[in-house]
Structure 1
Amino acid sequence: MKSRIFPVRIICAAILVSCANVLPVAGCARPAPPSLSARGEKALLRIEVLDDDLFRFEYAPPPDVRQETIGRTPMIARADFPGPSRLNRPGNGRLETAEGQVGIDRSDLSTRFSMTACGEEPVQHELFSVRLMEMTSEGCVIAIDAPEMTHAWGLGEQFPKPGEANGDWVGRVRMPGCEFGNRMVPYKGGAVGNAMFPVLYMMAADGTTCALFLDDLSALEWDLSTRPWRIKSTGAAVRGYVLLGESLPELRSEYMDLVGRPPVPPKAAFGLWISEYGYEDWAELESKLASLRKSGFPVDGFILDLQWFGGVDPGGEKSRMGRLAWDRKRFPDPRRKIAELRAREGVHIVPIEESYVTRGLPEHKRLASKGYLVRAMDGTPVFIKSWWGHGGMIDWTKPAAGDFWHDWKRKRLIDDGVVGHWTDLGEPEDYAASAVYHGVPGGGGRHRDVHNYYNFAWAESIYRGYLRGGPGKRPFFMSRSGVSGIQRFGAAMWSGDIGSNLPSLAAHFNTQLHMSMSGMDYYGSDLGGFKRTALDGDLNEMYTQWFAAGAMVDVPVRPHTANTSNQYETAPDRVGDSASNLANIRLRYELIPYIYSLAHRAYLHGEAVFPPPVYCFPGDPALRECGDQKMIGDALMTALVAEYGRRTRDVYLPRGRWFDWYSAERIESAGEVVRNVPLYREGRFRLPLFARAGAIVPLMHVDDQTMNTTGRRRDGTRRDELVLRVFESPGSSEFTLYEDDGWSTAYQGGRVRTTLIRQDGDVDGVELVVDGACGDYEDAPVERAVVVKLTTGGRTQCSGVMLHDEPLARHRRLEDLEKSDSGWCQTARCTIVAKTARLPVRRAKRLRFSLTAD
């Protein structure tokens, strides 16, 4: 476990395909890339070589005058490419680079991609072919001939059948949510999102892997039920990129480099946020907070639904939808109250907002006068009648409209102290099919052109607004819909108004698998379900299982339900098994230093934060349809549960040494199922969690005094020690801890601290080295203690622990060690806890554990 990406070598590639609505590449400093072209009866095919492992291609109607280079859509964040280090033109319509080959068959205008596997004798692997089947004014059909591919993942958000947690896309059809694409769709008593993130990763039985990404703003249908696979688009052209790589993590990182990596969310976003539809006033919110504090729950914030701006009136034009200003009768003096909650309780506020503005509001009149509303065919603002009232919608595709709205409305909320935003109904939910928009950059302005771009443009306007504010707060918001690329603006997503039943939760597990592979690291659900009327079993058991799953892999951890009549509870101290909920959220808070470090790696390298196991173990066929087990980084694996009456569950562990997180039991797996792993420990529901040998997991100290993700404590004490959970490996392993101020964008300018932690096992024991910290940030600690909880690989006794060359004192009880400045204690067979005094963080610490068998 020396490196984060384990040494499974596998052949990988990706295609990114774009249909219609493209940005021209203008002002490019580099010369036009090397290319091939061929003309058919209905289309012109062009291929460009952008790098050794990156190709771009296009099927388009033959133009009278074509662009110098192939265009791109707003989905693509990257516009400059270095070109190949080596290029061969062997003839017969082929191009070869150091890593790949592409060729054109002029008889049917198909293009075939292959790659060269490096080794003592390079081997060429045929990957796939792309062929244009149809091209009309109504759209395109392409065929993907990949006969060896047996499994496929990605394609964003579409729920499978209720209860199906596991499964890939082969043999299924990925349908758009509506004729235009993204949409909320009815699902088992609720409604869930259907959002196209059109990246499809494919794998052959022998582990050869490739991926296809349609960077398309049109409605798409992917038919993987027959061969060759067919993809239908309402776009007028097909444009794409082909990426080559040697591992799934490498391939995903290259894809994220093209569409944009996510910024690091505020640290508070990784904690517990309480939400419902909705809190009537500050008093109701504070009553929920007081109850949580009394029960010992850490909490980072509350999320306000539309009651914060006065609610809505479905019957007319005077509804407050679009007011985006506080209802000061029920939420008086918001700036003072938000500051008070932050100062007294360490909690924060996020309000909801929508794109709709009722016609009777002054906001509608002002927006209309500036031309910032979506228009009907006659040029007047489009008029929509809906549950929220009667009015129009902001034209986010017009940058001036988004900038005006942010500076006029949203910035006031930021100045009031809100730390994020909840963008709802962004598919968009309501629209006029004949509406006219400012339009997609370089593309059309019809609704069919804009539908899937609309929410992307909204997200981008928030991001631009934060950038205009200068160095300061990080943009972070929850979005109900999206497309590839939205993550680069600071978006998380949730799965919509999901029904309160376990079959819906199980299907959500499968959707999270595909969203992670599609580049959306921060994805969650309304914990406990939004529609309680869809409950199909015991409420408390359903909520407890759902809350445990969210505490493992959701960002943020956010219970939410429809509760306008105040008949339901959402807070985890009031519904479900409170003791189990408390144990599970405390584990989440303990893991935040580890998860937060993963978030930095997602920002820097495009690595997945909560990937499916196949991402880390692509060579293991048993994991290729696994959706109810999740990785947390590459060191931890959890197994989720969505079934009434379960007391145990089976867990598949890939080949290698694993440790049970709770019991420290060592498991030597040959790639097999561990039967009957307990789900209840000491009477509390706990999801299985396993650590790989060599795992180094930084933790936060959490107890009944912990208030939030910063480690703030109710008794005012400081517990800023660096806690490390270490699982012995026969060899060496390492992990880098990332720390920053948790709120600002200063980390992007280098204001971040990294600490490399290394462990090496040998015949005499284990050596752990905490390197001196590098970098700095505002209010960073200059000294702290280090606490190491070592789980050995089988050696049951520790004869001593040295800090550098000095022995630490042994304590017989953990309680005595906790009261001491330093020392060590053996708390169980194979488990040793060691502690240093407070030492400068820039000084390296070397601890040596001397281990023996019984």
Structure 2
Amino acid sequence: MFTGSTVAALLFAFSLLAFLYNNNWPRLGSGLVRSGRDEQREIKAPERSVNEAAARRNTAGSAVRSEKVGISGDRECTAAPEARFDCARDRTLTRGECEERGCCYGPLSGSAGPPWCFYPRSYPGYTMGPLSPTTRGQTATLTRKKPSYLPKDISSLRLEVIEETTGCLHLTLKDASSQRYEVHLPGGIPESSADNQSVFYAAEYQSDPFGFIVRRRSNGRVIMNTTVAPLLFADQYLQMSTSLASSLVSGLGEHYTSILLDLNWTSLTLWNRDMAPHADANLYGAHPFYIVQEEDGFAHGVFLLNSNAIEVMLQPTPALTWVSTGGILDLYVFLGPDPQSVIRQYLHIIGYPMMPPYWSLGFHLCRWGYTTSKTTRRVAQSMHDANFPLDVQWNDLDYANKRRVFTFDPWRFGDLPEIVDEFHQRGMKYILILDPGISSSSLPGTYPPFDDGLKRDVFIKNATGHVLIGKVWPGPTAFPDFTNPETRTWWEDCIRDFHSKVPVDGLWIDMNEPASFVQGSVEGCPDSDLENPPYTPRVVGGRLNSGTLCMSAQQKLSSHYNLHNLYGLTEAYATHSALKNIRRKRPFVLSRSSYPSIGRFSGVWTGDVRSDWEQLRFSIPAVLQFGLFGVPLVGADVCGFGGDTTEELCIRWMQLGAFYPFMRNHNDKPNAPQEPYVFGQKAQAAMRTALNLRYSLLPFLYTLFHHTHTSADTVARPLFIEFPTDPNCQSIDKQFLWGSLLLISPVLEEGAVELAAYLPRGTWYSLHDGQPFYSGGQYLLLPAPLDIINIHVREGHIIPQQEPALTTTASRRNPFFLTVALSAGGWARGDLFWDDGESLDTFETQNYCYLIFIAGQSQIVSELVKLNGDLDGLVLGGLQVFGVPSPPRFVLANGEKVGDFTYRTDTKVLTVTKLALSMSEVFTVQWTL
């Protein structure tokens, strides 16, 4: 008979064994192959963090499996609820059906959350053969002895491991015996190689069942662990799971979400759809890329290069499961080690963003409802009469004759060419909408785009080889196949012909998911595996062809089933190329649909947002997410697109929109007007202040775009990018930065006249008056009256600015001024990139100017790093210096005394005016204390 102490000891021993087992303490038979080596190794690394311990609880590869692995109560089925991986994602299973799959069945209370049917610890999968060297890296064959429960299971796979760079690991898994569709981004992916001794990662491969683990070399942290659940690979169903290093995950757009994703059993679908932003819906773009913030400021990212419909399940383990309906698993892992380095590594693969024309950073105005050319002209004139900057006037589909693109209505817009000329003479630009749907119902010979398109065979076909007809604004429509080179030539010819009549300065490509008002086509779609796959992710409408084309539709490269998410990208590529060839200037394209690499060709806006406070607030993470995706030229419709705005909402949205990288006010037909000049005088004054502030900062914003174009920096960035070691910055998305130094803290709540803003550690100066705030990394309660937006400049930086004007054509001729935010030691630095604002490839052809400004020892000096552009006639007209400790006795400019300067003892701001120092020559401004 056992004593009480013996029982207690036995209970403790059993508890300890259970803990070690559940936390995947190293066991016999775990057999890992390390990258580049043939010998078998056991996992013997100790647990390094709570997150890693949780991530390993469901690790496969344990001892020999029980014959009754699927029976509930078996030790193979003891995973904690949050660590369960769903074995019934395709459909709801009964207990018997679940166990027939060899899975565990464990009912839980409640209908949402952990799955009831889940994979056991050791689930039969692929067996990996030995790794063999190749010219690109290493390769191995994976074989499955027994088919999985999926239809058309693929029994043999080829693993290829490609070591891209020191911070990037590239792996592919594809059918070993037949060709499957693979994504090829426009322009291709650069090839590079890494020195195995300097890579940031160590990769380990489990042979049976197959899985891999990626660790960070510097600290041993597990970045990915795919052994937590089985790899599945069938003709129309690919599944791979991984643990996550932390719960701080961003990306996987486009969705209506905060900057950090919800890991509480959240499903995200990546399938481009014409859908106004709202929660739990797949929206206009697909970006299968995520970034994870780790501990101590480290970060990593993962990119799945796959264009099929994708569902991503996030669970609180933390872990993630990819499910794709086709293609291959083409996976990139970016090791950073910091967040900004992750973005650079990602953009190295998908391509650095384009350099936008300078004028595109000004204010844009549009409405669906400017029904005549007279109305369009009057709106632009009213803006300037009210002293509001306006660079670009837009027209929605109102301009088109019977809503057919490449036409303009002869009655309502008969003088459109003359209006565009007028805009150009006033230093303005003009843009109109261009939908991809080409009207197919016009009489033969009356609509050249369709007639010529038929002759040149440029349209997407249905399964029987005939032109697929859908329905969009003009009625029955055909859809260009932009994967066809002949289509791109035809598209350029159409744009060239229209541009010869209406010399537009850019094009707005909308409805390019592609959207259709009928499901599939006007004739329906065939009953096939492409239209009815074994598994359909959770898409709006329930079917992949809902609101778009038939999946069996045929394009030059493949079926629309494989190419749907790429449609907007391929149209942007064709449109960018056409404008470049026609105008011989820097193209401007704005697209609604998006996919990785679209930032090389186009900007993006966030679609049909509503005019309400919630959408104002969520526009910030939407803009920041696109920055992570390599699309810096992005913004939301200022004041909202759907529904009536209010005066207060529109003021706050104009203040926030002044700091979107792309700023456009866009309104829907039935709504109340929301042009700035329609509001009261106080509201107009607040909006005018916001616009003038933006225009004054355009030289700085343009310089940020130069850095993102050449170095893959971010323009509008979340705080965690700049302050990765500050835990308070991990989830902030009500504030954001321009570059590394300008902190924007907008009002996002109705009636608010103050706000709590987080200021990271250091000194931050109010851009409004130079008031310093000395922060230890804390929230401060700031006044926020209706006419002010809180902007703070980080110590140690210099911002180049310019006197604002009503257009960038005029403002670019105005004097510059510098805002200097001194550090505690009296130092600061800034730079300016300057070219003509619209010529092609000025950086690549060395046709630009680049200046550095350095402040220290009570002086500011310019340095001309590159002077191969037009700075003649441009002058430095003044400067303001924040943080000057005491009143200067005098100020010298290039050695001569300056009479016009002031100093405020309360804010310690020195202001110098009426300078006229040439920007094309080195200058020095000194102050003597």
Secondary structure of the 2:569 match is: helix
Asked whether the 8 Å contact 2:460–2:555 carries over to 1, the reply is no
Range moving further from structure 2, 137-146 or 184-193: 184-193
* TM-superposed deviation, 1:754: 0.6
1:369 is matched with 455
Q: Distance in 2 between matches of 1:516 and 1:402?
A: 28
Mapped partners of 2:924, 2:658: distance in 1: 33
CA contact (8 A) 2:428 2:809 kept: no
Matched, 1:644 2:750: yes
1:693-704 aligned within 5 A: 693-702=795-804
Query: Of residues 500, 508, 513 in structure 2, which corresponds to 1:422?
Result: 508
Identity, % of aligned pairs?
Answer: 20
- Paired with 1:839 and 1:554, the residues of 2 have a C-alpha distance of 30
Q: Aligned match of 2:767 in 661, 664, 687?
A: 661
Contact 1:76/1:260 (<8 A) preserved: no
1:355 matched to 2:436? The reply is: yes
Q: CA deviation at 1:400?
A: 1.1
Task: Find 2:163's aligned residue among 49, 60, 65.
Answer: 49
**Counterpart check, 1:739 vs 2:834:** yes
Shift of 1:574: 1.2
8 Å CA contact 1:168–1:625 kept in 2: the answer is no
Give the counterpart letter for 2:790 in structure 1. P
Structure 1 Cα separation of the partners of residues 163 and 723 of structure 2:
31
The alignment partner of 1:103 has SS state of strand
Q: Which letter does structure 1 place at the counterpart of 2:137?
A: P
After the TM superposition, which residues 465-476 of structure 1 pair with which residues of structure 2 at under 5 Å, given as runs?
Answer: 465-469=578-582, 472-476=584-588
1:168-567 alignment, distance < 5 Å: 168-171=261-264, 173-176=266-269, 181-187=271-277, 193-227=283-317, 228-310=319-401, 319-322=402-405, 324-343=406-425, 345-361=426-442, 362=447, 363-410=449-496, 412-413=498-499, 416-430=502-516, 431-432=520-521, 433=545, 434=550, 439=555, 441=557, 445-469=558-582, 472-489=584-601, 491-532=602-643, 539-555=646-662, 557-563=663-669
The answer to whether the 8 Å contact 2:291/2:342 transfers is: no
Q: How many residues align?
A: 743
Contact 1:635–1:691, Cα closer than 8 Å, also in 2: yes
- How far the C-alpha of 1:106 sits from its partner, in A, is 0.9
CA distance in 2 between partners of 1:234 and 1:547 (Å): 42
Say if 1:423 and 1:478, in contact at 8 Å, map to a contact too.
yes
Comparing 504-513 with 603-612, which one deviates more in the overlay?
Answer: 504-513
| Equivalent residue number for residue 108 of structure 1 | 209
> Among residues 177, 180, 183, which one is paired with 1:73 in the alignment?
183
Contact 1:611 1:630 in 2 (8 A): yes
Go from structure 1 to structure 2 and tell me whether the alpha carbon gap of 1:726 and 1:460 turns closer, same or farther (over 3 Å shift).
Answer: same
The residue identity in structure 2 corresponding to 1:265 is: P
Runs of 4+ deviating beyond 6 Å: 188-192
Read off the aligned partner of 1:246 and give its amino acid letter.
Answer: P
Alignment of 1:157-172 (within 5 A): 157-160=254-257, 167-171=260-264
After TM superposition, the structure 1 = structure 2 runs for residues 578-593 of structure 1, keeping only pairs within 5 Å, are 578-593=684-699
CA distance 1:467–1:72, shift in 2 (3 Å)? farther
CA distance in 1, matches of 2:837, 2:470: 41
Does the Cα contact within 8 Å between 1:170 and 1:225 map onto a contact in 2? yes
Match of 2:673 among 569, 576, 581: 569
In the TM superposition, 1:709-728 aligns within 5 A as 709-712=808-811, 720-728=814-822
2:190 and 2:349 in contact (8 A); partners too: no
Q: Does the residue aligned with 1:105 lie in a helix, a strand or coil?
A: strand
Aligned to 1:637, the other structure's residue is in SS state: strand
Q: Helix, strand or coil: the match of 2:731?
A: coil
CA apart distance, 1:646: 0.7
Matched to 1:501, the amino acid is D
Q: 2:924 aligns with which of 836, 839, 846?
A: 846
Is the contact made by 1:193 and 1:495 (CA closer than 8 Å) also made in structure 2? no
User: 1:834: how far off?
Assistant: 2.4
1:632 equivalent in alignment to 2:731: no
Aligned counterpart, 2:30? none
Give secondary structure in 2 for the equivalent of 1:413.
helix
TM-score scaled to structure 2, two decimals?
A: 0.76
> Could you tell me whether the CA contact under 8 Å between 1:773 and 1:843 is conserved in 2?
no
Give 2:795's aligned amino acid.
Answer: A
Deviation of the 1:346 alpha carbon: 1.7
- Taking structure 1 as reference, are residues 333 and 235 closer, same or farther at Cα in structure 2, changes over 3 Å only? same
Post-superposition Cα deviations, 1:316-341, rounded to whole Å, max 9, x if no partner, equal xxx4423x122232223433331222
Q: TM-score, normalised by structure 1?
A: 0.82
SS of the residue corresponding to residue 184 of structure 1 reads coil
User: Unaligned stretches of 5+ in structure 2?
Assistant: 1-132, 145-154, 522-544
Of structures 1 and 2, the larger Rg is shown by 2
Q: AA paired with 1:742?
A: G
Q: Give the C-alpha shift of residue 371 in structure 1.
A: 1.3
Shift of 1:452: 0.4
Distance in 1 separating the partners of 2:928 and 2:339: 38
Match for 1:647: what amino acid? Answer: V
Structure ranking higher on relative contact order (CA contacts 8 Å, 6+ apart): 1
- Aligned position for 2:861: 769
Whether the aligned pair in 1 keeps the contact of 2:416 and 2:502 (CA below 8 Å) is yes
- For residue 902 of structure 2, the aligned residue among 825, 844, 851 is 825
Inter-partner Cα distance in structure 2 for 1:646 and 1:355: 43
Which whole-Å CA distance do the structure 2 matches of 1:128 and 1:487 have between them? 28
Q: Could you tell me which of 204, 225, 249 is aligned with 1:129? A: 225
Counterpart position of 1:39: 142
Residue among 131, 150, 154 paired with 2:251:
154
**1:753 and 1:776 in contact (8 A); partners too:** yes
1:742 CA displacement: 1.1
CA RMSD of aligned residues (A): 2.6
Are 1:674 and 2:776 counterparts? no
Quick one: which amino acid aligns to residue 810 of structure 2? G
